[in-house]
Amino acid sequence: MALTLVSSNKHFGGMLNKYSHQSSTTQCVMVFNIFLPKESVSNKVPVLYCLGGLTSTEDNFAIKSGFGQRASQYGLALVFPDTSPRDVDVPEAGANPDIGYSAGFYLNATQHPWDKNWKMYDYITQELPQVLAENLPVSVSAFAPITHPTQSAWGKFAFPKYLGEDPQAWDEYDTINLLQRYKEQNKFRSDVKVLIDQGTGDGFLDPDRLHTSELIKVVDQLGLKDQFEIRYQDGYNHGYFFISTFINDHIDHHAKVLGLTLP
3-state secondary structure 96-143: CCCCCCCCCCCCECCCCCHHHCCEHHHHHHHHHHHHHHHHCCECCEEE
The answer to whether position 249 is within a domain reads yes
**pLDDT surpasses 50 at 142:** no
Give the CATH number of the domain where residue 117 resides.
Answer: 3.40.50.1820
Structural domain that includes position 226:
140-254
> Could you give the number of structural domains in the chain?
2
Considering the domain architecture, whether residues 3 and 121 belong to the same structural domain is answered as: yes
Considering the domain architecture, whether residues 114 and 188 belong to the same structural domain is answered as: no
Return the pLDDT at 3.
98
Considering the domain architecture, whether residues 211 and 240 belong to the same structural domain is answered as: yes
Considering the domain architecture, whether residues 165 and 57 belong to the same structural domain is answered as: no
How far apart, in whole angstroms, are the C-alpha atoms of residue 145 and residue 184? 23
Count the neighbouring beta carbons within 10 Å of the beta carbon of residue 207: 12
Q: Residues 101-121: what's their mean pLDDT? A: 95
Considering the domain architecture, whether residues 123 and 186 belong to the same structural domain is answered as: no
pLDDT band at 141 (very low <50, low <70, confident <90, very high): very low
Out of 3-7, 50-54, 87-91, 140-144, the most confident range is 3-7
Return the pLDDT at 146.
44
The answer to whether position 147 is within a domain reads yes
Considering the domain architecture, whether residues 19 and 101 belong to the same structural domain is answered as: yes
Given a contact cutoff of 8 angstroms between Cβ atoms, the answer to whether 31 and 82 are in contact is yes
The answer to whether position 119 is within a domain reads yes
Q: What are the pLDDT digits (tens) for 157-183?
A: 788 888 998 888 888 889 899 999 988
**pLDDT surpasses 70 at 143:** no
Considering the domain architecture, whether residues 127 and 172 belong to the same structural domain is answered as: no
Cβ neighbours of residue 96 closer than 8 Å, sequence gap 6 or more: none
**pLDDT surpasses 90 at 207:** no
**Pick from 139, 161, 192: which residue ends a domain?**
139
**pLDDT surpasses 70 at 151:** no
Given a contact cutoff of 8 angstroms between Cβ atoms, the answer to whether 21 and 131 are in contact is yes
Considering the domain architecture, whether residues 82 and 27 belong to the same structural domain is answered as: yes
Considering the domain architecture, whether residues 41 and 104 belong to the same structural domain is answered as: yes
- Residue 146 DSSP SS3: coil
Q: Residues 18-23: what's their mean pLDDT? A: 98
Question: Could you tell me what percent of the chain has a pLDDT over 70?
Answer: 92
Residue 113, burial from CB neighbour count under 10 angstroms (0-12, 13-18, 19+) = middle
Given a contact cutoff of 8 angstroms between Cβ atoms, the answer to whether 16 and 77 are in contact is no
The answer to whether position 263 is within a domain reads no
How far apart, in whole angstroms, are the C-alpha atoms of residue 35 and residue 18? 9
